Amino acid sequence: MGKYILKRILIAIPVLIGITVIDYAIMCLAGSPLEMLQGPRVSEAAVEAKRIALGLDQPVLVQYFVWLGQLLHGNLGYSMKSYQSVSSMIGSHIGPTLLLMGVSLLVSLLLAVPAGIFSAIHQYSKGDYAIVTASFLGSSVPGFFLSLLLIYIFTVKLGWLPSSGMTTLGTESGAGDVAKHMVMPVIVLAFSMAGSNIRYIRSAMLEILQQDYLRTARAKGIGRFRVNNKHALRNALVPIITVIGMEIPVLFGGAVIIEQVFSWPGLGLMTMSAISNRDYPVIMGVCLLSAIVVLVANLVTDILYAMVDPTIQLD
Amino acid sequence: MILRKIDGQFYNRDMPAVNSLRRRFGRKSAFSAEVIEGYDEKSDGKSRKSTKIDAVQTRGTDENSQDQTLDVNNGSDFKGNANGKNNGGRKRTDISSESYLQTVIRRFRRHHLATVSLIILAVIVGAALLAPVVAPYDPNDIAGPFAGAPSKEFWLGTDQIGRDVLSRLLYATRISLLVGVMATLISTVIGVLLGLVAGYFGGVADMVIMRFTDMVMSFPYILLVLVAAAIFKPGQWNIILILGFVDWPGIARLVRGNVLNLRETNFVKGNIVAGMPLRHILFSEILPNTVAPILVYATSVLALSILDEAALSFLGQGVQPPEASLGNMLNGAQSLTVLTTQPWLWIPPGLLIVVVVMAINFIGDALRDALDPNGGR
């Protein structure tokens, strides 16, 4: 087991380095920060001085290593707009995003796990068809369209839920207020995630139900309920872990759009405003962070997977 | 050819049926059970999604074992009718003289939802292709009142500057479908080539390609696309290229997994021994045997590309106005007036996206089942 974990980590290291290279290359492609300086009131000499000050006269490789060195010290650079450091900007926006992502993941699992298992046990029943059709709908509806529909229904028509922000302005922000603001974004994120998860868990569960050990369990006559909920459910834990691992990158991506629609003050909203301002250090900082999170999530998933399922070969 | 004899052991059961099948094909099994099985077990990571298939089965096996395979295989599949449980009472059609294509079509048609989806999609694609003929107005022409509600003259109303929404919707579908199809084509070609090289040559090439795939996959997809769209000017062709260049890792992994297994089969080994040129082995022997899973995967890429184009255009980073795409028609709904008082401006394009993507997903699902070599009759 230890050997396996070590091997996985060793594989992850070149990928991590590659991620930083891609990240840096995109940043270079995006143009040099000097372009922001240039204008009729800035002299050539001043630009040249800035170029040397920023180290842009060095070869690209040297620049990359300088950047990487800074990165290892936790310095992701500075925003071109607000002159704040990128790491502090990320730090102040990550909380709401994590809250939103965590709750959505939880809700989607609470929806998908029982639905997927029910669907597998009652394969080809009416309930199965309803669930699978709904799951197709979930993965086919664009998140932003569902958001607009929800806002139209719950905010405009019924006036039940606030449509933007995390707290109501000018009031004491309690947990209830935040929860109220979270309802719609969570529904949208959870619905689209549950769509693909249900089908995945269903097929994994169907596979488990075919296994010999379940036939044995049934043959022992211990009853359908115990077979399904004890023997099968335990083994369904493996696909559920995979599902969580697969959802992390989807969550990061989905959060960008959903936060924009609901003005949720998180990482996604920050990234979108950075994108429209062409604030590259911020964009690349977020990209790098999310890529690393995804990489680590995959690593953890693989390790957990190996721990939960003893039949998986570790080589 | 000699090679056909070599791969004889492929069909380990029910040889007569297989032989008739083979005569009709004039080639090795187009879809061998072992191939699919391999892509489940050998390839890493993502392929865990796919269902496992245990028994190697060809068509024409007895009723019982067939029912069993159906149940095993239909993990992720969804049938429009309840045919899996009880095949016994079904009227038996004579399939001994059926071509492979007929088999696929017959299996596909069992999925009623997919059949309906195919018809709906055909109508939508037809309307989109014929947009210049069908559309009542020019999509960029100011033809009526500003933000007029649907009326006899303008079936879906007009937008804020008096353009006909229905005409714009038709042209938008055209653009969105074009973006989706082109992006899917590009990513499929890239993915297939990289997968073939990685799987067939192995070693350093495999390692480099697969690690690169890991890297691209680590970046959250939408974020990567948004960044690329921000760097290169947003626009129709840039979106196609960006989506195409970001979407390939899934296909590359799939193809690599299949190739790894095919490389170990006797007919490929036979080709190598016979000294066939590399190009022939890769593109005429290996590739045709992985077409089915690629096709199924490509439908899901198509659905995703259309969704992503819509999301990008909705955020203003995709297809740029005045050109209409399904996503950027929804862009206006970010303003409260449009959202609250002019629902005809944003509900039709949104619903159209849902219908198109759902139809593609259903078709892909039915295709998976229809092309499955173990799918029973």
pLDDT confidence of residue B19 = 38
- Tell me: pLDDT of A33 over 90: no
Torsion B195-B196-B200-B201 (CA) sign: negative
Return the higher-pLDDT residue of B334 and B194: B194
- Tell me: pLDDT of B267 over 60: yes
Name the average pLDDT for chain B: 73
pLDDT confidence of residue A253 = 77
A202 has a chain B CB within 8 A of its CB: yes
Scanning the structure block, which residue is given the tokens 């195919």? B118
Does the distance separating the beta carbons of B340 and A124 come in below 8 Å? Answer: no
Best A262, A275, A280 residue to mutate vs chain B (most B CBs within 10 Å) = A275
For A247, name the nearest residue in chain B, comparing CA atoms only: B220
Average pLDDT value for residue range B70-93: 42
* ipTM entry: 0.84
**Which residue(s) pair with B164 in the sheet?**
B158
Measured distance CA(B373)–CA(B34) in Å, rounded: 9
Nearest-10 crossing angle of helices B249-263, B203-218: 150
For the record, the structure tokens of B150 come out as: 């649907």
Measured distance CA(B251)–CA(B273) in Å, rounded: 29
Provide the 3-class DSSP secondary structure of residue B132. Answer: helix
For A301, name the nearest residue in chain B, comparing CA atoms only: B45
- Tell me: pLDDT of B214 over 70: yes
Spatial contact of B196 and B282, defined as CB atoms under 8 Å apart: yes
- Tell me: pLDDT of B53 over 80: no
- Tell me: pLDDT of B177 over 90: yes
- Tell me: pLDDT of B160 over 60: yes
Lowest-pLDDT range, A55-59, A225-229, B31-35, B263-267?
B31-35
What is the distance in angstroms between the Cα of A130 and the nearest Cα belonging to chain B? 11
pLDDT confidence of residue B10 = 36
A45 has a chain B CB within 8 A of its CB: no
pLDDT bracket for residue B58 (50, 70, 90): very low
* Stated pTM of the model: 0.79
For the record, the structure tokens of A96 come out as: 């709401």
Provide the 3-class DSSP secondary structure of residue B128. Answer: helix
pLDDT confidence of residue B8 = 34
- How many C-alpha atoms does A212 have within 13 Å on its Cβ side? 1
Q: A258-262, A311-315, B335-339, B359-363: which has the highest mean pLDDT?
A: B359-363
Return the higher-pLDDT residue of B77 and A148: A148
Read off the pLDDT of residues B102-154 as tens digits, 9 standing for 90 and up. Answer: 888 888 888 888 899 999 999 999 998 888 887 777 777 777 777 777 777 77
- Tell me: pLDDT of A214 over 90: no
For A211, name the nearest residue in chain B, comparing CA atoms only: B72
Read off the pLDDT of residues B284-326 as tens digits, 9 standing for 90 and up. Answer: 888 888 888 899 899 999 999 999 889 888 888 888 877 888 8
CB contacts of A14 in chain B (<8 Å) are 211
What is the distance in angstroms between the Cα of B74 and the nearest Cα belonging to chain A? 7
Best B81, B208, B218, B335 residue to mutate vs chain A (most A CBs within 10 Å) = B218
- Tell me: pLDDT of B359 over 90: yes
Measured distance CA(A291)–CA(B229) in Å, rounded: 18
What is the distance in angstroms between the Cα of A53 and the nearest Cα belonging to chain B? 25
Spatial contact of A124 and B82, defined as CB atoms under 8 Å apart: yes
Instruction: Give Cα B273 distance to the centre of its chain.
Output: 35
pLDDT bracket for residue B94 (50, 70, 90): low
pLDDT bracket for residue A103 (50, 70, 90): very high
Instruction: State which amino acid sits at residue B11.
Output: Y
Read off the pLDDT of residues B314-324 as tens digits, 9 standing for 90 and up. Answer: 888 888 877 88
What phi, psi does B91 have (nearest 5°)?
Answer: -70, 130
pLDDT bracket for residue B371 (50, 70, 90): confident
pLDDT bracket for residue B357 (50, 70, 90): very high
pLDDT confidence of residue B238 = 85
Q: If you count residue pairs, one on A and one on B, with CB atoms under 8 Å apart, how many are there?
A: 166
HEC string of A267-296?
HHHHHHHHHHHCCHHHHHHHHHHHHHHHHH
Does the distance separating the beta carbons of B51 and A290 come in below 8 Å? Answer: no
Return the higher-pLDDT residue of B4 and B120: B120
CB atoms within 10 A of CB B124: 17
